[in-house]
Structure 1
Amino acid sequence: MMIHGLGFLSLSASLVLPWALTGLVQPERVTESLVKDVRQSSTSTDREMPLPSRKLISAVSTATTYYVSGTGKDSNSGLSTSSPFKTIQRAANLTDPGDTVLIMNGEYKNIGQSGSVVTIKRSGNANAWIRYKAYPGHFPKIRHNTWSGIGLSNGVSYVEINGLEVIGDNANISLDYALSQKTNTSNPRTNGNCISIDGRNSSVHHINILNNKVHDCGGAGISVISADYVKVDSNTVFNNSWYGVYGTSGISFLKNRNYDNNQGYKMFVTNNRVYNNRMYVPWIERGIITDGNGIIVDLSKQGPNGAYKGRTLIANNISYKNGGSGIHAHESEHVDIVNNTAYLNQQSPNLKKGQIYAGYSSDVKIFNNIIYGPAGKNASTNVKNSNVTYNYNLYPNGAVIGAMGSNDIIADPQFVNPSTADFRLKATSPAINRGYYWKDLKTDYADNPRPAGGAYDIGAYENQ
């Protein structure tokens, strides 16, 4: 199926909004055949981005820290907690490499139909990232009914978004209204994304989206279009993609761009909890429900400057009860889907291809995953792939398995309590010590070490 969570959305899997609105970052399309505790992740300055280590970026001695508060004033200096700015945008317009924007409690909203609550266009550099962070102990909310809560475009680079809550307008939209807008590609209320990274016009690279709570956007939760070196780590992403026309998903990477020729890991989707992202409005290109996936890597074979050469790691994610797949790669290559837990996805009745799978793809490894699907629907499939390997995965009894490896297991995974979304493993789980040794993955979803026993466990959690 096709999947995209557009940078604004998705058009042909890319968004089709008027190009006059491009600066507003818009959706991209989708196409296929047919709060957890805050954890810090480090910013990489290496050519090959290392796996998330969850440590803060080292401070730069000459950097400026700006403060923003819901009770502040943009006429303030913004240089202390007693003189904060009122809008995040005021600080964003001033940042230089190495600066930090600390955001205090408050609800930050868009003004009229501006493109984003916060539009980030100023870049850091490899040794001095610009960071936007929740002030310690605070829980700021970015609430919007426009194209995006946070938009990153215009060639921005070396920027980190950490510990914020971004909320769309789904609570104020009825399904009847959304269906009345099913041919309207220019309605930001129904099509807006929560966080939009859009590199279609110019190269966007080295962006970290960490520890955020992202929900209730009609379009995508976190949309990454034509970018490179992006890390999406430790976010909670839910209730997105309900009302847009572009075929979006919870977390979507579409048409990755080659910033350089590095063939190592450059894209990371790790340690996220992703659920209840679902399409209720047909994708305008095909007139049917196609996406609403938890996580998708889409059309990386069709990047803006050729097929994407870097590797993508999708690991330690928990993806459940989404409308489309839990995780999948569509028409993509060089993707490793490792140690994830997918549970009862494909809630949309017509979507049946798999909980975790690859389609029209090559050089994809699907290892060490718990793949738990609803009765009568495929847990995995192998659709027109080449060099796609499934192995060391666990399927429940009665699963419909379209692609199976020699070391796969069919058994009850013995979750602690799936009814409350507690997907830890009981001590008697057959997933324990049955996984493949994936040397690049040293921790689990809870930041516990892997392996804890004689071998890797299967799934997002390592039994301790």
Structure 2
Amino acid sequence: MSISVGTPAPPSVSINSPANGATVSGTVTVSGVASDGVAISSVQLSIDGGAFSTVSGTSNWSYSLNSNSLSNSSHSLSAKVNDSAGQSATSSLVDFTVNNASTSTDCTLYASPSGSSGNSGTSPSAPKSFSAAASATQPGSVLCLLGGTYNLSSSFTPPNSGTPSSWIVYKNYDSTPVYFVYTGPANANSIFRITNGGSFPSGGPAYLEFRGLNLNGQGNSGDAFWCGGTHHLRFISNTMHDTGGSGIATRDCDYLTADHNLVYHNGYLPSSTSVPQWYGWTSGISFNSDQWFDNYSGFHNIISNNIVVGEFDSSPNHTDGNGIILDLSSGSYDPSTANTPPALIVNNVVYGNGGRCILGYIVTNFWFVNNTCFKNDLDTLESNFGS
């Protein structure tokens, strides 16, 4: 007598809803099915190639997605099933489009320059102050800023994090411009400082989006946006100018998106400062020492559709002042140890900067695609790097 032992079927997973090509809004239930010849241990979901989050259920699974935490544009979903034998499988991508309501209806909190901490912040007629509204954020919050000037005498650090499915969004309320003006001393403080000083990946608030804001350093601030030791941040359609550093600068971060921003006239030394060493020596958009939040092989960091002009390295080094830079791997200058996650630099317009147009310096896994470079390398104290 012989006994034939069959090979267990491998795991498989698919997404049934939303359908490929669907347009969604509000809170959406993502659902699907999974199967395995052994035993399913977990099913996970990834949004836009980001980290996988565990869903509810296994063979029939679901996940609640707040699409207000995503931009009104095209996005993608993929699911992964893991079994008790250590096998896994990933679904086909499902592409979908988010089309949420206008800025006037997707807000959950409101702030204005004249707002009060005693107001509810739940309507444009009863806005909180900016700091009070920020303190009231929670995962899924959309903090809408009424037009006007918000003066910051020191760095603003977002007090709360979102989650993978429910980001926290800071955005302008309508077509009236929102200005954040740094009124502090020339001490190189960033305007928005997204870090708590800790190490990656828990070095600061995460799952945050900043959209449609104007940041003015008045020649005294450090970077407009600074990320240190954290992950999952989006900078979209902002304007950053007159800082002593970068428009967007990051160190030891991952899953960053900088899209459709205007970055101009940054990197200059104030007329008087006690810390001149903290000014200049950077680039308009600078991603330094990008870290691996996970082992996803797709793009982690994206710099796209930005305009970067007038960056200058006012430090004695005169080696930077580039439009865009991917700089170093874990702070090391040893090319043999470079290991940075995949980054895409695409469709940017970079001109009139003191240093190079776009630079990858001691990094790996980067793609520069369809960028426009014109009349860079204007700093006569720098080497002739070319445009």
**Distance verdict in 2 for CA 1:58–1:82, change over 3 Å:** closer
TM-score if structure 1 supplies the norm length? 0.56
TM-aligned CA deviation for residue 54 of structure 1: 9.0
TM-aligned CA deviation for residue 245 of structure 1: 3.1
- 1:95 aligns with 137
Between the aligned partners of 1:264 and 1:276, the Cα distance in structure 2 is 32
Kept after mapping to 2: 8 A contact 1:45/1:126 = no
- 2:289 aligns with 255
Between the aligned partners of 1:137 and 1:269, the Cα distance in structure 2 is 25
SS of the residue corresponding to residue 110 of structure 2 reads: strand
Matched, 1:327 2:358: yes
Between the aligned partners of 2:212 and 2:159, the Cα distance in structure 1 is 20
**Distance verdict in 2 for CA 1:78–1:197, change over 3 Å:** same
The aligned amino acid for 1:349 is T
Q: Which has the larger radius of gyration?
A: 2
Between the aligned partners of 1:153 and 1:53, the Cα distance in structure 2 is 32
* 2:382 alignment partner, one of 322, 327, 351: 351
Between the aligned partners of 1:263 and 1:197, the Cα distance in structure 2 is 23
Between the aligned partners of 1:43 and 1:166, the Cα distance in structure 2 is 28
SS of the residue corresponding to residue 92 of structure 1 reads: helix
* 1:85 alignment partner, one of 113, 122, 128: 128
Cα distance per residue 1:266-298 (max 9 Å; x no partner): 10000000000112232xxxxx21111110000
- 2:222 aligns with 192
Between the aligned partners of 1:46 and 1:57, the Cα distance in structure 2 is 21
- 1:238 aligns with 264
- 2:248 aligns with 222
Between the aligned partners of 1:130 and 1:42, the Cα distance in structure 2 is 19
The aligned amino acid for 1:95 is T
- 1:457 aligns with none
Between the aligned partners of 1:54 and 1:322, the Cα distance in structure 2 is 36
After TM superposition, the structure 1 stretch with the greater mean CA deviation from structure 2, 159-168 or 235-244, is 235-244
- 2:323 aligns with 294
TM-aligned CA deviation for residue 70 of structure 1: 1.7
TM-aligned CA deviation for residue 307 of structure 1: 4.6
Kept after mapping to 1: 8 A contact 2:338/2:362 = no
Structure 1 residues 162-181: aligned runs within 5 Å: 162-170=211-219
* 2:115 alignment partner, one of 69, 72, 81: 72
- 1:137 aligns with 175
The aligned amino acid for 2:195 is S
Query: Percent of aligned pairs with the same residue?
Result: 33
Alignment root-mean-square deviation, CA: 2.8
TM-aligned CA deviation for residue 263 of structure 1: 2.4
* 1:276 alignment partner, one of 295, 310, 313: 310
Between the aligned partners of 2:362 and 2:237, the Cα distance in structure 1 is 29
Unaligned runs of 5+ in 2: 1-70, 80-89, 197-203, 270-275
Between the aligned partners of 1:279 and 1:133, the Cα distance in structure 2 is 30
* 2:160 alignment partner, one of 110, 122, 136: 122
Kept after mapping to 2: 8 A contact 1:43/1:57 = no
The aligned amino acid for 1:120 is P
**Distance verdict in 2 for CA 1:332–1:301, change over 3 Å:** farther
SS of the residue corresponding to residue 333 of structure 1 reads: coil
SS of the residue corresponding to residue 311 of structure 2 reads: coil
SS of the residue corresponding to residue 132 of structure 2 reads: helix
Kept after mapping to 2: 8 A contact 1:104/1:134 = yes
Kept after mapping to 1: 8 A contact 2:341/2:364 = no
Structure 1 stretches of 4+ moved >3 Å: 39-48, 52-59, 306-309, 352-355
The aligned amino acid for 1:165 is N
**Distance verdict in 2 for CA 1:310–1:323, change over 3 Å:** same
After TM superposition, the structure 1 stretch with the greater mean CA deviation from structure 2, 77-86 or 307-316, is 307-316
* 1:104 alignment partner, one of 146, 151, 159: 146
Cα distance per residue 1:237-266 (max 9 Å; x no partner): 000111263411110000111111122211
**Distance verdict in 2 for CA 1:44–1:135, change over 3 Å:** farther
**Distance verdict in 2 for CA 1:340–1:302, change over 3 Å:** same
Q: Looking at secondary structure, tell me which structure has more strand per residue.
A: 2
SS of the residue corresponding to residue 365 of structure 2 reads: strand
Between the aligned partners of 1:164 and 1:142, the Cα distance in structure 2 is 7
Kept after mapping to 2: 8 A contact 1:71/1:106 = no
Between the aligned partners of 2:146 and 2:122, the Cα distance in structure 1 is 13
Cα distance per residue 1:417-445 (max 9 Å; x no partner): xxxxxxxxxxxxxxxxxxxxxxxxxxxxx
Kept after mapping to 2: 8 A contact 1:325/1:353 = no
**Distance verdict in 2 for CA 1:153–1:351, change over 3 Å:** same
SS of the residue corresponding to residue 137 of structure 1 reads: coil
Q: Which has the higher contact order (CA 8 A, sep 6+)?
A: 1
- 1:209 aligns with 235
SS of the residue corresponding to residue 133 of structure 2 reads: helix
SS of the residue corresponding to residue 83 of structure 1 reads: coil
